[in-house]
Structure 1
């Protein structure tokens, strides 16, 4: 048992007696998996990072979530600077 290797789950060929649906009833799958590129058994940090960057680049952001996150982060930074009494006058010159 290695430190970096993860253990694979055992697979059994059990089928339920009264199941008449399609596919495997025991398959655990997230409802957005078919839309994601980053979900899978890609090995290595480089492949995961490249897939995440491609997904971010080519994903249409129709709801404006990225802009909303930037606004929220900006407001939180300003609140934090206000709480610690940061002096913003160091960014402005007194000419």
Structure 2
């Protein structure tokens, strides 16, 4: 019994009585987000390292570099606000 692992959902091989599989593009019970096919981070539950690696790959392989720059600026501003809140002395980074 894993305390930290999530349970997998049970899968059944149920097909509806009047379901015609020939004209459909997939399972009628499959719920997909419209961007799932473009992301790596969606899918089976992975460990923390796997999630971080997938997110980092998405960040590095993003064709829109402006979004990456904006994210880095937001992170830098949040770090500076955090350092200001904890009253960190920034003068150690500057020489006189």
- TM-score normalised over the length of structure 1: 0.59
Aligned to 2:61: 59
CA contact (8 A) 1:38 1:55 kept: no
Structure 1: tracts of 5 or more residues without a match:
none
Aligned to 1:91: 93
Equivalent of 2:72, from 58, 70, 73?
Answer: 70
Change (3 A) 1:54 1:11: farther
2:38 paired with 1:35: yes
Q: How many residues align?
A: 89
Aligned to 2:84: 82
Q: CA RMSD in A?
A: 3.6
Three-state SS of the structure 1 residue aligned to 2:32 is coil
CA contact (8 A) 2:41 2:54 kept: yes
- TM-score normalised over the length of structure 2: 0.58
CA contact (8 A) 1:38 1:52 kept: yes
